[in-house]
A and B are shown apart, each in its own frame.
Chain A
């Protein structure tokens, strides 16, 4: 038993150093767009645009009329657009960043904060399967997104958030500059 306690004490000593589990918005943007210029933009959707986004995402709720997004450019070319989506997983919220590539496909997802027990958080590798996925029927737990046993609610919430973001991105992209986007 003494040996076991000694091992446990050693493990605790190793883990006692500080560490950051989640990302801030700024850190997430730096991670997604290294050496890029990131510009924050605001879009004010019309009711018609809100409904169009809802229809595209197949979401139950109408999206907010206010959409904040971050456009990253490098050498004058857009390299991606980031959106932050906060949603409820089980009873607590999660905030993720969804990066959309210039072709309108999901490029990257990062978890910024997760208030549920981490047992419900899929592994980082799981989020990789969203890369390159456009907004279509494949972006679904029943099709192209593989679920995770024991984290179904998080998987569902993340997939819905990705659909929501891609739908909003599409609606904003369709709108003439100045109509839905901020100055």
Chain B
């Protein structure tokens, strides 16, 4: 109680000093104390302190100056004010954690440093977000020269709000609310979705617990899908189809790191094989935490080497049955065990940025899924699906190290096939054997804004691929 009273007293003194400054010298004298922010108080206290120090210097220089005792007293007060301003600036970290009140008092020249706790409540809410818009200009003809039939489109792909709340040093809530395609209404393509909403219990770097609607810990894009991190106008196809970003499920798990390794491991709701398709792979099987069928559960995890700054190398895995208690028309229960993995690397060195990924998914009982969905011929779900890509970019403005702008020409090549293998009795569709070359340039006027222009050569084994120009803008805050 004594500690609290002491803080309130100190805070009152500082408030009074700050308010007095406003009354005498402040830039906005009409401001009421309640409207004065901590930053403004600090600025005014600093000004007051500087003036006082000048007065002390003048007194010291004056032959008819004050007595040594008076000067010493003024200097002592300056030190106290300096300590208080430092405490306000640094905030809670200024508070000694393991010393008694008496010790603290001694250490702070007779007054504590915790005035910040009088002025400011513990700030627990964090707000952020991102958004991106995309213009797509597909070619009029496909790779065989036939009319593509595709039309230009411009879309505000995503507007996202992050809301976080830090309950204390251990418990944190983190959420992402997403609006897709601008309008979510009857007859519109848009939707509103909770992309993630999880609670973290943070114990240590080694071991922490996460539970809720979590992003699956796979690949390079799924967990880090903000437009400024994904450099091209469109995310890599491999990380949209083979690894179906943004992929989230409800569950719980642990994460942390030790030495040069970082890990995450979750138990979550599984995919629903009823949504698997020939061209979309497992993407349609995501349940997204929306009244998800929980007959089958899945394990997922990743392990990354993080021992070298700028380098990330790792693997991830997902495995679980995905039948969700469905039965074929002939009465056979579908287990549809699905196991996927990826190997990934990301390396940033000076202005150079390289990344690459290989992913593969194997699905058992794809024939039963086909029977369940009525798929025949080349409509079969792939019993094995895989894809890979490599990407390189270079910030040509890295020659100006103090520039906040970045200009990154980039190139990416990817290849994937959602029907690498199909069950006996079914056929592969060559249109699903796809390769994409992307060449473009991204401009970041500041870290949090990005403008992208790229050209994609899209080819498939059926010769029906359609090239496209893409223009995008993105922001994070």
Contact partners of A182 in chain B: CB under 8 A = 78-79, 82
The answer to whether B29 has its CB under 8 Å from any CB of chain A is no
Assess whether A58 is interfacial by the CB under 8 Å rule: yes
A91 touches B126 (CB 8 A): yes
A20 vs B203: C-alpha distance when bound (angstroms): 8
For B79, the chain A residues whose CB sits under 8 A away are 42, 182
Chain A residues 1-49 with CB under 8 Å of chain B are 1, 4, 8, 11-12, 14-15, 17, 19-28, 40, 42, 44
Contact indicator B398/A143 (Cβ below 8 Å):
yes
Contact of B401 among A26, A66, A137, A149 (CB under 8 A): A137
B229–A149 touching, CB < 8 Å? yes
Judge whether B90 and A25 touch: CB under 8 Å.
yes
| Bound form: Cα–Cα A144–B349 in Å | 8
Residue of B nearest to A40 (CB): B83
Complex interface: chain B residues within 8 A of A1 (CB): 297
A128 CB to nearest chain B CB (Å): 8
Complex: how many Å from CA A15 to CA B107? Answer: 34
Instruction: Give how many A-B residue pairs fall within 8 Å (CB-CB).
Output: 172
- Asked if A119 contacts B174 (CB within 8 A), the reply is yes
Q: Is there an interface contact between A8 and B398, defined as CB atoms closer than 8 Å?
A: no
Interface string of B147-179 (1 = CB under 8 A from A): 000000000000000001010011010100000
Give Cα distance in the complex from A8 to B257, angstroms: 18
| Binary CB contact string for chain A from 129 to 148 against chain B (1 if under 8 A, 0 otherwise) | 10000000110101111111
Q: Which of A47-65 contact B (CB under 8 A)?
A: 58, 64-65
Q: Which among B95-103, B239-247, B381-389, B424-432 touches the partner chain? A: B95-103
- B216-239 CB mask vs A (1 if < 8 Å, else 0) is 000010011010110000000000
In the bound complex, do residue B174 and residue A24 qualify as a contact, i.e. CB atoms below 8 Å apart? no
Give 6 new A-B contacts, CB below 8 A, not counting A84-B94, A93-B123, A142-B406: A15-B208, A25-B90, A27-B96, A84-B90, A153-B448, A183-B75
**Residues of B with Cβ closer than 8 Å to A?**
46, 49-50, 53, 75, 78-79, 82-83, 85-86, 89-99, 107, 123, 126-128, 164, 166, 169-170, 172, 174, 200-205, 207-209, 220, 223-224, 226, 228-229, 252, 254, 257, 260, 262, 267, 297, 306-312, 346, 348-351, 395, 397-398, 400-403, 406, 447-448, 477
Residues of A within 8 A of B (CB): 1, 4, 8, 11-12, 14-15, 17, 19-28, 40, 42, 44, 58, 64-66, 68, 84, 86, 90-93, 95, 112-113, 115-119, 123-126, 128-129, 137-138, 140, 142-150, 152-153, 156, 182-183
